[in-house]
Structure 1
Amino acid sequence: MKNILGFLTLCLLSFSPIVEKKITKTGTITFEASVPSFEEVKAKNDAVTAILNTENGEIAALALMKGFRFKVALMEEHFNENYIESNKYPKATFKGKIENFDASKLSSTAQEYTIKGKLELHGKSKDLNIKAKLKKNGEIINLISDFKVNVDDFDIEIPSVVSKKLSKQVNVSLDFNLK
């Protein structure tokens, strides 16, 4: 009886559709909160993980907050300890869906899509609609996007002493090569 159940299970699994997923562990997120006439406030994280389900356009990404690198070490320290509180909130995640996504229609020419999803950062969640460009190069799908987030939406406090040196509207750029 166990052999028959095992055989039936194997048969059912062999007929289930295979979901195609593309992944990267070396995606890049860059953010900038600079204001004119003051020192550049910009950081980059080259170790972002992202997964794209090519069957339905669902996408998820994870960035460790301590992975962001600044030109000035003191900025990195303040970012992790005072603003993002990386020990308490070690990661940022995004889960969403690319609207009208059809992997078979991707080509080497970038096409614009809307991604609707939820960004979780600093213990808060925010629904986002972002524009992204996708293109395919061989088996690699490239996703790039530029959008803004407001620090107030995530309860990130900027001390009054530096409030004129930091923008509350942060420019975020994504670049993922999903394989």
Structure 2
Amino acid sequence: MKNYFIIAMLLVSGWSIAQEKMICKTGNITFEASVPAFEEVKATNTNVTVVLNPKTGEIASLALMKGFRFKVALMEEHFNENYIESDKYPKAIFKGKIENFNAGSLTASPKNFTINGKLELHGKTVAVKTIAKMSQSGSGITLVADFSVNASDFDISIPAVVKNKVSNKINIQVDALLK
């Protein structure tokens, strides 16, 4: 009987610790490196994991590079083999903190928060600062953020043959519903 009580207490305490964090396993990341007058260079990953600790404002995200889908299959192949080298660098990781975050202050109207963190991609880590729009709904906390990074900051080289068709500046959009 004593053992059952201890096991029950461990399960309850584990459950309460798990409830401290909010998670989304179906977040969206879209990136675009298009250049006007050329074919669109754009991809979306709809299986991005985002974790938020609402008490501390700490936030983290993980995206598998092979999860990005392009309109053109050949672009996807080039992205994975030549640019990102997905077999060698299979994921992108973001870890950061939302400044002055207070989950209790969220309403249905989006509110701007500054996020500072580090993005690890292609074996390099770069500091990122962005504004995220966050709101509270019955189903959770919605987070939407837009920011830009340079491919060259991550040692991603764009071959001379396509240098005029692919931008070094990559615009990134993140959309997640944390529950």
Q: Gaps spanning 5+ residues in structure 2: where?
A: none
SS in 1 for 2:66: helix
The RMSD of aligned alpha carbons is 1.9
1:50-104 Cα shifts (integer Å, max 9, x gaps): 1000111100000000000000000000000000000000000000000000000
SS at match of 1:164: coil
Task: Give the whole-Å Cα distance in 2 for the aligned partners of 1:17 and 1:71.
Answer: 41
Is 1:23 the equivalent of 2:35?
no
> Cα distance, 1:139 vs. partner?
4.2
State the secondary structure of the residue aligned to 1:33: strand
Distance 1:18-1:26 versus aligned 2 partners, 3 A rule: closer
1:120 counterpart residue number: 120
- SS of 1:80's equivalent in the other structure is helix
User: Counterpart in 2 of 1:61?
Assistant: 61
Q: Paired residues, what number?
A: 172
Counterpart residue number, 2:34: 34
CA distance in 1, matches of 2:152, 2:56: 32
Alignment of 1:79-98 (within 5 A): 79-98=79-98
Distance 2:154 2:94 in 1: 14
1:112-156: CA deviations, max 9, x gaps?
010000000000000111111000001410000111010011000
Aligned to 2:138: 138
1:78 counterpart = 2:54: no
Structure 1 residues not aligned, in runs of 5+? none
Q: CA deviation at 1:19?
A: 5.7
Deviation, 1:18, is 7.5
**What secondary structure is seen at the aligned counterpart in 2 of 1:56?**
coil
2:51 maps to 1:51: yes
CA shift, 1:17, in A, is 7.5
